[in-house]
Amino acid sequence: MLTETSDYAGLYRNFRWQVPARFNIASACCDRYADGANRLALIYVDEDGGATRTSFDEMRALSSRFANVLKADGLSRGD
């Protein structure tokens, strides 16, 4: 927990994330919201102004597909 301070530089210099040794950021940030409700996760607007909307469910599916590609190439957990 951050404490109130007037020394931003010191706070910045001494700040350390406390992340467990086995932490899956994708699961924490995305997969827990991929529950079939098709909730919006991301809107990408390209340089021409076209927008692509991606749901948490779609992100999980794409992530799983990519993981399967890596697995097929011989990569495994920890590589």
Segment 28-73, tens digit of pLDDT: 888 999 999 999 999 999 999 999 999 999 999 999 999 999 999 9
Tell me the H-state helices in the chain. 8-14, 25-29, 56-72
Structure tokens at 3: 């404490």
Q: What is the pLDDT of residue 1?
A: 61
Please state whether the predicted TM-score (pTM) of the whole model is above 0.75: no
Q: Provide the greatest CA pair distance for the chain.
A: 52
- Please state, rounded to an integer, the average pLDDT across all residues of the chain: 91
C-alpha–C-alpha distance, residues 71 and 65, integer Å: 10
Domain boundaries, the chain: 23-79
Residue in 40, 78, 79, 43 with CA at minimum distance from that of residue 56: 40
